[in-house]
Amino acid sequence: MEYQFTSRNFQQEVLDSKQPVLVDFYANWCGPCRSMMPTIAQLADEYNGRVKVGKVNSDEEPELARQFGVMSIPAFFILKDGKIVDQMVGAMPKPALEQRLNAQL
């Protein structure tokens, strides 16, 4: 299951999550972001129950993007116990994201 994170649900869904969380900051106009969407959807299905996977639309949630210091998208953050434990910027192959997620399990 892929989540849509917003300022309204971020505390509960991400910061208070008992599972690691992969947060994808994206925008609809961003080509590399669109190219990553199928990969993020696959990861959400494959890691269901082990990692919460979701997206933040940086155009609709500029305050969240600012809090995370997002300067370039797509930007990926892995949070564990409410803290950032890994971050990556730019489109990347699925195995690269899997490796980073597996390191947090």
Q: What pLDDT shows up at residue 28? A: 96
| Residue 39 within a domain | yes
97 lies in some domain: no
Q: pLDDT tens, position by position, for the chain (105 residues)? A: 899 999 999 999 999 999 999 999 999 999 999 999 999 999 999 999 999 999 999 999 999 999 999 999 999 999 999 999 999 999 999 999 999 999 999
Q: Which of 2, 6, 27, 30 is catalytic?
A: 30
For residue 26, which of 91, 86, 74 has the smallest C-alpha distance? 74
Q: Is 33 an active-site residue? A: yes
Identified catalytic residue from 14, 23, 33, 53:
33
Residue 95, Cβ density class (10 Å: 0-12 exposed, 13-18 middle, ≥19 buried):
exposed
Q: How many domains does the chain have?
A: 1
- Write out the residue range of the structural domain in which residue 74 sits: 2-91
The answer to whether 84 and 77 are in contact (CB under 8 A) is: yes
Question: What is the structure's pLDDT at 18?
Answer: 96
Tens of pLDDT, residues 73-92: 999 999 999 999 999 999 99
If one counts every other C-beta atom within 10 angstroms of the C-beta of residue 25, the result is 24
CATH of the domain at 79: 3.40.30.10
pLDDT of the residue at 1 = 84
Is 29 within a domain?
yes
Residue 103 lies in a domain: no
Q: Whole-prediction pTM value? A: 0.96
**Any catalytic annotation for residue 20?**
no
pLDDT for position 88: 97
Question: Quick one: pLDDT at residue 45?
Answer: 97
Q: Is residue 49 domain-resident?
A: yes
